[in-house]
Amino acid sequence: MLDFIQQLVSGIALGCVYGLIALGFVLIYKATEVVNFAQGDLMMLGGFFVFTFIGLIGLDYWLGFLFAVCAMAVFGMATERILIRPILGYPQFSIVMATIGLGYFLRSVAGMIWGTDDLKIETPFSTGVLKLGDLVIAHDKLSVIVATVILCAVLYAFFNYTRMGTAMRATSENMLAAYYMGIPVKKVVSLIWAISAAVAATAGVLLAPITFIHSNVGLALGLKAFPAAVLGGFGSIPGAVIGGLIIGVIETLAGFYLPQGWKDVAPYVVLLIVLLVRPHGLFGPSMRKKV
């Protein structure tokens, strides 16, 4: 029984990692209906930035964290301005391919700049564990869980209770109508890319002690976080975290109880089954177009 609980807890920790990255996917989708396949690579870039600030320049951890998040927010805005704005509104699949291209580009450029070795940074969460009876949770995983919960709550409140959040939802419904209503659409889109990149950077920094920093970390985690977002229903913030938790727990339990090889496939099998039953994910809206 303890084994099971321990596996469950580590599954939840892993799920929060996926959820944290999935949050970034969902934010951009919620405001602009754009699916950003390069989200994992933005996270990877955030990790490299924090390595540069802390490991190379030698800043304090929290200062480096702040700088990396700010730098990534600017980077996200620049990406939106250069790559996304000219093609916004074209078929969704073209934009998906453009972001896949961006991911390719960022991965290899990061590999060229920072090399292909695993990089490490010292963080306050690197060592130490929390003991609850017989249960053991490492601090680095705990930090991810806490950050996911806080970010999820803050972003949920932002989207549902602030003027800007409402403007973002309106933009995604119908950009032209939102523009006529006086919503500064370009600013809204820029802002959401900045927020999303900042969330990605946060994920990258918190994951640095767990997965280390290398140029392919974004692809590997992004490909798991993406099903998480879909499972929760693209466009639902709590859905992203719950989807991440489901994927993480299934992956960990499948790795523990099922024969080898199931660990990587089980999340996708579950995803296909869920999509068969609910084509818009667990928490996605299921509306039909009325003519």
Partner 1 sequence: MRFVFKTDYDQDIRLLKHSGYWWSYGVLLAVLIAFPYLVGSYLQSQIVFVFIYAIVGVALIILTGFTGQASLGHAAFLAIGAYTAGFLQSQGISFIVYFPAAAIITGAVGAMVGFPALRLSGIYLVIATIAFAFIVEEILARWESVTHGNEGMRVRAIDFLGQPIPRDGDAFYFLCLLVLVGSILLAQNLLRSPTGRAFIAIRDSETAAKSMGIDLAGYKVKSFAISAALTGMAGVLFAHKMSFISPEMFTLLLSIEFIMVIIIGGAFGVHGAVLGAIFIVMVDPFLTALKDDVPVLGASLATTLGMAPDAAGKLRDTMSAIGSAAGLKGAIYGLIIMMFILFEPYGLYGRWLKVKLFFQLFPLYKKATFKRQKTYVKSERNR
Residues that bind partner 1 (CB under 8 A): 29, 32-35, 83, 86-90, 92-98, 100-109, 111-112, 116, 171-176, 179, 215, 223, 226-227, 230, 234-235, 261, 264-265, 268-269, 271-272, 275-276, 279-281, 284-285, 287-289, 291
Nearer CB in complex with partner 1: 77/188: 188
State the nearest-atom distance from the C-beta of 157 to partner 1, in Å: 22
Contact of 26 with 226, CB cutoff 8 Å = no
State the nearest-atom distance from the C-beta of 93 to partner 1, in Å: 5
Contact of 193 with 80, CB cutoff 8 Å = yes
Distance CA 196, CA 103 (A): 15
State the nearest-atom distance from the C-beta of 64 to partner 1, in Å: 26
Distance CA 154, CA 175 (A): 25
Nearer CB in complex with partner 1: 209/281: 281
Within 8 A by CB and 6+ apart from 253, the residues are 7, 8, 11
State the nearest-atom distance from the C-beta of 217 to partner 1, in Å: 14
Q: What value, to the nearest 5°, has the Cα angle with vertex 195 and ends 192 and 198? A: 150
Q: What tokens does 268 get?
A: 């996708």
Nearer CB in complex with partner 1: 86/124: 86
Distance CA 89, CA 99 (A): 14
State the nearest-atom distance from the C-beta of 66 to partner 1, in Å: 29
Q: How far is CA 193 from CA 47, 68, 93, 110, in A?
A: 18, 15, 19, 20
Distance CA 241, CA 152 (A): 8
End-to-end CA distance of the chain: 55
State the nearest-atom distance from the C-beta of 85 to partner 1, in Å: 10
State the nearest-atom distance from the C-beta of 169 to partner 1, in Å: 10
Nearer CB in complex with partner 1: 9/77: 77
Nearer CB in complex with partner 1: 31/205: 31
- Rounded to 5 degrees, what are φ and ψ at 137? -125, 125
Nearer CB in complex with partner 1: 11/267: 267
Nearer CB in complex with partner 1: 133/260: 260
Distance CA 153, CA 158 (A): 9
Report the SS3 class of residue 138.
strand
